[in-house]
Each structure stands twice: as C-alpha cells, then as structure tokens.
Chains A and B, each alone.
Chain A
Amino acid sequence: MPLKNMNLPNTRRFAPRLLLSLLLWGASLAQAQLSIQITGAGANQIPVAIADFGGDPGTSRSLTSVVRGDLERSGLFKLVDPHGAVLTETSPIDYPSWKSLGADALAAGSLGTSADGRMEARFRLYDVNRQTQLGGAAYLTGVPQLRAAGHRIADYIYEKLTGERGIFSTRIAYVVKSGSRYVLWIADSDGQNAHEALVSREPIISPAWSPDGSRLAYVSFENRKPIIIVHSLASGKRDVLANFKGSNSAPAWAPDGQRLAVVLTKDGSSQIYLINASGGAAQRLTSSAGIDTEPQFSPDGAYVYFTSNRGGSPQIYRVPSSGGNVERITFEGNYNVTPRPSPDGKSLAFIARHEGRFQLSIMDLASRQVQIISDSYKDESPSFAPNGRMIVMATEVGGRGVLSAVSADGRIKQRLSVTAGDVREPAWGPFSK
C-alpha cells in the first residue's frame, strides 16, 4: 500500500509524545497505572481510518478509541481522521472519498444487540485502493469487557494489514516498587486494566508466564531469601515450587508448560536445574564451578540458553535441554547477560555492557551478527511480545525505573511509566486464547 504524505488541514496530528488518558479507578490504582509515551514510530506506516461506529455514541466512542489507540501505539499505522463519519458494518463505502483522505484501509462497525440480548461489537475492514472488503467479525461483549472487544478488533485489523498476529489482547506482568512496598501487577498490553496480583514488603523479581497464560512463576524474598513461587492468577493460589537450601531463582517455563528451568544453589554455586511444574525433585542440567543462571528455553524446547561466567566473564551459552555439550553464543565484550530467544527462534535478545552502559542487543542466530537497539544505558530484563515484533524491558529515565518497549528493529519506541514508584521486571504474556 502506497504511503502518501497527506496535507489535510483537519487531519489529526499525533503528537510525538502522546499520553494516553488514565482510567481513574481510585487513587492507588491510578498511581500504579502505566501511562505510555510513544517516542518513535515505524518507517512505513499504513494509513488507516477507523470510522466512528454506529450504536450508542458514548459506548461506541469508547470502543473505537481503544481500537485507534492500539493501532497507533503499535507504530505501524498512521490514523486517518474520519471527520466524524459514522459508518456501520452495513453502510455503503464511498471508496474515492476515503482514498482522497489518504486512507489505505477503513474499518466501520457498530455496537448492537445479539440474538440473546447481549452487547455485540461488529465491524468490517475494507481495502480502499482495491475497493474490496478484507473481512469482518462480531464479538459478544458488555460494558466491562468493552476494552477487550476493542483489543480483539485491533488484533484483527493488525493481522489483516500486516500479516502477523496482533498483541493487543495480551497482558504484561511487572513489578512496581514504591518505598518498601512491592506489587506484582498484571495489565493489558496498553497499560490499562491493571490488577494487583501480589503485594509484599519484600522484593519480587523474575516473573515468568506459563505458556497458557494462567500462572506466573516468580522469585519472592518474603522468606528472607529467594524462593520460587507458582501463582495461579485467577484463584490467587500460590504454591512453593522451589525452596531449597540457599537461593532459588530465575524460573523459566518449558514451551509445553510441563517443566521449568530454575537456578538453585543447593549443591554449591548457582546452577541450572529442571523441575516439574507439578513438583518433584530437581534434576541438574548444567555443571560448572562458576555461576550459571538466567535459563530460557528456545521456542522449540530443544535448547536452554543461559548466562555463565565459566569463561571468566558473564557470557551467553546454550545447552540441549536434555543435557549435553555446552556451546558459547556471545564473544564480544565482557558482560553479556539475560538471553531471550525470539518467538520464531531466529534471534536472541540480551543485555550487553559497553563502557558501563547496559544496552538491549539483538543477535541474529544464523549469522551471529549483533546489533545494539536501545539508546538507554540501564536496560534490564527484556521480554519479547509473543509475535516477536516488540520487546519490553526495564530501564531508567531521570533516576526512576520505567518500562520501555522497542521494536526488534529498534525503530518503534514506547515508554511505560507510573506516576509513583519504580517499574521493573516486565514479562510479556502469551497470546490470549
């Protein structure tokens, strides 16, 4: 789709620093709500118009604002102002006038009532240049689930126009430290709809989503030492997965959700073990005199990537998950940590230290070429979105911990911060079912 630089007087100009409005759900929630700033955008943005949907105007506006916000935040779309046009999924489309507004794609829809009396969000997506329909869908919803319906519509549009799965319906886990209070939050990927999963007076680190998105494994210091907990989000049930002598940390789920790789010091130095998600004994996977930590399964489950100082400085290695020969992956510099294989298994995100700066880097695993993709200096804990497009990580701005999301090509950047407290330890959840 061609990209045109339209010069319409009424075209809404998107400020480079767009602050999404906060949902004020009481003071504590509002304080912890993530606000998102977009600080970079994709090179080739698809111009798309989301018409005002039919149905109750107020509710429809809430829905379309979620769809528009999602698409805009992705950095891959340029939103074309529909100039107040209300179009339902059955309205005839005046393709030439949308083309003159610069839109390559157009979505129209309505909020109506389904056969069983529930609220239903319906929409259609059109290719303006080819003057054809690209598809459409209807989602049962309700006022409390309106945002979720908006995310699903945005996911549909995103996938149709980019060819890759959308991530607007996914969730992000993160930890906010305010004074001596630590809260593990679960929010939608747009920072809204945040819920406290755990409140503690001791640190919480390394949250890791189970592949089905129902549970989080994390490290809690609530027993005055690090232990690993598996926490079912819906019920709040918490099970101790590892509380061996010494430190227990760095949980990572196998792709099948049956096992986790963990780091234990029960036999001496930090080493990597495999443990069943349902419990049982820990089986040692690595063996070195030094530090082996930060295990992470490759998406096919064949390898476990990890950080080790066995060669004298912390570097990234991998070992077959069934055990075997250890292979060194990083060689440049003397501090390469926190390996995170991309969802397609083709690249590896990690943190590299260069002259005291800790920066997000990406290695192409076939060529072993490394590219630094951040311009910040205290990057930690990168986590891929399930479609591999974005990486969320913790970094620091003005002495405060914030989350930063950057596209794997480094072009699109978003910053997620809370008004009070340090945000850290982000973990991007899997695709929703």
Chain B
Amino acid sequence: MKTSMKLSLAAAAVTLALAGCGTTSEKEGGGAPVESRESPSTGVTRVEAGGVQSGKLPAVLTDPNSILSKRSIYFDLDRYDVSEQYRGLINAHAKFLVENRQFKILIQGNTDERGSREYNLSLGQKRADAVKQMMVLLGVREDQIESVSLGEEKPKAEGHDEEAWAENRRADILYLGEF
C-alpha cells in the first residue's frame, strides 16, 4: 500500500472513488490542505477550506420540512447502538438511497472529547458502521455508503460540558456534494 504519490492526488482519488462518476466539482479544501507544500506561483488563488455548499442536492434532502434534512443520530456515552428514536430517520434515508441508486453518502462517526483519541476514533467508526449496517439491511448497496470516523477530532460543539459532549456523540449523514 505504500506509495509515494502526492497526498493531494490520493485525496482526489478518494473523492473520485466516492463519486463513482467524474462530476465532482472541486470541493473547497477537498485536496490535501497541507501548508508545507508550496503552491506553484502561477497566479493561483489560495482557498481556505470550509463552508461547503450543498446547492446541487434535490430539495427533498435539504428542505427543513423533509425528514431527509435530518442527518444526525445521537449516541449515549461509550455506546454505539442506535436508539429506537432514529429508526424513522434511518428508514427514510435508506428508502431514498434505494430509490436513487446514483446517490452516495458518507457517514461520519464522532465522539465527545473525553478519553483516548484512538479509542474514540474506533468508537466513532462503530457509530458510523451501526448506521451503515441498518441501511444495508434496508437494501442500500454497500458501494453507496462509506463509513468513516472523525473520533473526537472535529467537535461540532466546542464546549467542555455535558451538553457539548452529548452534541458530539453523533453520526452524521452527508450526501455526495456535501463532503
């Protein structure tokens, strides 16, 4: 697996693999944002990552009145079993993905900040996998879903209290174009 290829190329390859088609627009910060690599001085403007837009998605995925706009599944401390209250949300996304096979999703698992970073990375993976497995059982194809973990590294809530921790024990569903 060891290659010397530039990480930006690796990033592009991952993006294309996830896309399954060549239509991915250059997402902001999608390449390897490693500052130690100097940009060639050919008049290219440096772009800061962040604020990814999901303008191309159908309204049913983003309309606040649609259940498909709900993308987060929350978990208890140390746990990765999906609680009953998220069954409807997961069913709805699974149904959409079965009916729209060209759509692909990334499920990102997250944890609160407490404890081992590496254990939390695995815990976040378990959370993402739990959601993925439910969807696969509901007929979504494996190649429509990638589950990954961000562990405790990308907290949505920056606080250090129970409220923030609960917000960060979470798996998020992102449709292609949103990640």
Contact = CB atoms under 8 A, between A and B. Distances in A.
Interface in A279-332: 279-282, 290-294, 307, 313-314
Given A202-B33, A240-B10, A338-B118, A224 B179 contact: yes
A190 interface: no
B150 interface: yes
A223 B32 contact: yes
B12 to A, nearest CB: 9
Contacts of B32: 222-223
Contacts of A230: 2
Interface string A243-258: 1111101100000000
Nearest to B119: A337
Tier of interface size on chain B: 35 or more
Contacts of A282: 1
B157 interface: no
Interface string A328-362: 00000001011000000000000101001010000
A135 interface: no
Size category of the binding interface on chain A: 35 or more
A358 B115 contact: yes
A2 interface: no
Contacts of B146: 245-246
B35 interface: yes
Nearest to B117: A205
B48 to A, nearest CB: 8
B10 A247 contact: no
Contact of B116 (A219, A241, A337): A337
13 contacts: A201-B29, A201-B34, A201-B35, A205-B117, A206-B118, A223-B11, A239-B4, A240-B5, A240-B10, A247-B121, A249-B118, A265-B125, A380-B116
Q: Name the 7 nearest CB pairs between A and B, nearest first.
A: A279-B2, A270-B122, A203-B153, A201-B33, A225-B148, A199-B35, A337-B116
Interface of B: 1-5, 7, 10-11, 14, 29-30, 32-36, 48-49, 78, 114-119, 121-123, 125-126, 129, 146-151, 153-154, 160, 179
